[in-house]
Amino acid sequence: MQEIIRNAVKVISEVGAAYLFQALTIVFLVAIALRVLVYYTVARELWFAREFDKRAQRFLSSEESKGDISFFLVAKRLLEKTFYELFEVRAIMKRRRVDPVMGLGDRVFLINEGAAWLVKDTLRQVKFLKHGKHEPDFMQITKNIFQNNPCFNRLFGIFPASTLNDILNILPSIMIIGGIFGTFLGIMNALPQLGLINVKDVEATKAAMNEFLFHLGVAMTTSIIAIAFWVGLTFMNSLLSPERLFVQAVERYENVLAVLWNRSDDNRLPEDIAEFNEHKDPLDALAEQAVNRMLSGKNKYEDQPRGNPSPTSKGKAS
């Protein structure tokens, strides 16, 4: 057993000394890339919430908001209009040079699908709310909508964003541990060189000391690099914090729904309004078609568990 342990330690020390620095560097670069990608995904949620807020404020300041208002119909119209103008109109017009690039990024990150799902899930959540003395808990409703979005909760629609975010948050500590481990490996490989010192052989002693100092230098270098990586990851985690963006997105979205609810007179559905013609406004019809078209073929998400938390559901919004 001692021989097995000795051989295992020898293999670990040799492999660690040879590849630890490369491994730490690769992990650092991958972590930076993933942090940027997760942040971008959550930032697009906040972007959609802000655009929804703009259109809601524009509606509330118009003459159109002074009549009899149904909360469901107004929310439906504004959400679908927001989606249509952000994705469909931009794709058609391409008035700015950056439009094709942003459109490609949104497709790769499933932002279009995530926004369409956000619209439909919101309408499902608020469809049967009743006007009364107490305002619905729109904060909880909004958190459920964002946390259960299958597109925004998975990077590229594959990797759970919450799991990635948790791993990225602990990586700085792992970097420090890796640096300490590299220091011990360097010292372990350097100590045997002291056994080669022979006071009667000056050249052999000099060579042994040079080898000893070389291994110590490698050990110290690994620790210094690990500390630098720790500083870099800690800075990136603070600068590109998806938790902060998620809280802002939830609060902005919840505030818009609450304002529209307080301004509305009831929560009548289209079938409760005899004169309602869903396609009387061409823009409204196009907006609804755009959302439905984006969600067509995406029903596979219905089969997925709806309990996957958002990467930031453990933040302040929880």
Cβ count near 268 (within 10 Å) = 17
Instruction: Give the residues across from 266 on adjacent strands.
Output: 70
Rounded Cα distance between 28 and 175, Å, is: 8
Structure tokens at 213: 């100092």
**What letter does residue 183 receive in the DSSP assignment?**
H
Cβ count near 301 (within 10 Å) = 16
- Between the alpha carbon of residue 316 and those of residues 198, 246, 313, the distances in Å are 64, 9, 8
Cβ count near 232 (within 10 Å) = 15
CA count, 13 A, side-chain hemisphere, 200: 0
CA count, 13 A, side-chain hemisphere, 188: 16
Cβ count near 295 (within 10 Å) = 15
Three-point CA angle 213, 172, 143, nearest 5° = 175
Structure tokens at 119: 């619209």
Per-residue pLDDT of the chain (318 residues; tens, 9 = 90+): 666 766 666 666 666 666 778 888 899 999 999 999 889 888 988 999 999 999 999 988 887 777 788 899 899 989 988 888 887 766 555 545 444 444 555 655 678 888 888 888 998 898 888 877 788 899 999 999 998 888 888 787 778 888 888 899 999 998 888 888 877 777 777 666 666 666 666 677 777 777 777 777 777 878 888 899 999 999 999 898 888 999 999 999 999 999 999 888 888 877 655 444 554 555 555 566 666 666 675 544 444 444 445 555 544 443
pTM to 2 decimal places: 0.73
What single-letter amino acid sits at 56? A
